[in-house]
Amino acid sequence: MSSAGLIEMTIVDKPMSRLQWYRLTALGEALRAQLRKKREKTS
């Protein structure tokens, strides 16, 4: 997912940090919105 540009690390300088989190990029947010719309249509 990260190689697709959908998620990014919150602490880029320390990838092994125990405090590391991941968040959606703008592209990831757009994909999530698109999938939600698709799911709503099928429900």
Strand partners, 24: 7
Q: Please answer whether residues 28 and 2 qualify as being in contact, where contact means their C-beta atoms are separated by less than 8 angstroms.
A: no
Predicted pLDDT at 33: 97
Specify if 15 maps to a domain.
yes
Domain count, the chain: 1
Q: What is the rounded distance in angstroms from the CA atom of residue 14 to the CA atom of residue 36?
A: 32
Q: Give the angle subtended at the CA of 16 by the CAs of 15 and 20, to the nearest 5°.
A: 70
Domain that holds residue 35: 7-42
Predicted pLDDT at 3: 81
Diameter of the chain by CA atoms? 42
Specify if 1 maps to a domain.
no
Specify if 20 maps to a domain.
yes
Specify if 14 maps to a domain.
yes
Specify if 26 maps to a domain.
yes
Specify if 2 maps to a domain.
no
pLDDT tens sequence across 3-38: 899 999 999 999 999 999 999 999 999 999 999 999
pTM for this predicted structure: 0.73
Residue 40 one-letter amino acid: E
Give the long-range contacts of residues 16-21, CB within 8 A, separation 24 or more: none
